[in-house]
């Protein structure tokens, strides 16, 4: 039996849909710890760097991204994120921000406010994994 491989079609890199905004989701993000430092008192940090493999096309001139691509960052970390190359910021933190953002958004979509302890546990595990990598590199 022969199989046909789907045509490789590149999507338009700038979808024409208006980004989704959700005040309830942003309020949920503000309850979580910072995904880089673990501190509370976070801001909602939108990811700017595109990752088309996850369906994030970045933001165009004068446009914003969907709240799906937001992570909790302490104000100090948020300033660092915007003060340097964003990809370099996330690589230094040893975090895949797109996977983490999709995971947290998925939890909230399924469980609403009840997702906070699960999202916090995932953030804590992400911090522990990044810390374990840092300590191995220092040895």
- pLDDT score recorded for residue 120: 97
Q: pLDDT digits over 55-75, tens only?
A: 887 766 566 788 899 999 999
- Torsion of the alpha carbons at 127, 133, 138 and 139, rounded to the nearest 10: 130
- Tell me how many degrees the CA angle 33-89-95 measures, rounded to the nearest 5: 55
Region 4-26 average pLDDT: 68
Asked whether the beta carbons of 65 and 58 are under 8 A apart, the reply is: yes
Structure tokens at 120: 């916090």
Residue 17 — pLDDT band, cuts 50, 70, 90?
A: low
Region 120-139 average pLDDT: 77
Is it the case that residue 139 has pLDDT exceeding 50? no
């Amino acid at each position: 039996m022969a199989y046909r491989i789907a045509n490789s079609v590149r999507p338009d890199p700038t979808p024409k849909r208006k980004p989704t905004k959700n005040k309830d989701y942003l309020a949920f993000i503000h309850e979580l710890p910072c995904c880089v430092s673990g501190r509370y008192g976070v801001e909602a940090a939108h990811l700017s760097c595109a990752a088309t493999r996850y369906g994030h096309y970045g933001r165009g001139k004068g446009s914003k991204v969907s709240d799906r691509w937001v992570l909790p960052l302490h104000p100090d970390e948020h300033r660092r994120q915007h003060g340097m190359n964003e990809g370099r910021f996330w690589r230094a933190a040893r975090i895949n921000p797109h996977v983490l953002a999709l995971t947290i958004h998925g939890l909230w979509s399924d469980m609403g406010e009840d997702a906070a302890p699960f999202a916090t546990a995932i953030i804590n595990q992400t911090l522990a994994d990044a810390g374990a990598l840092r300590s191995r590199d220092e040895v």
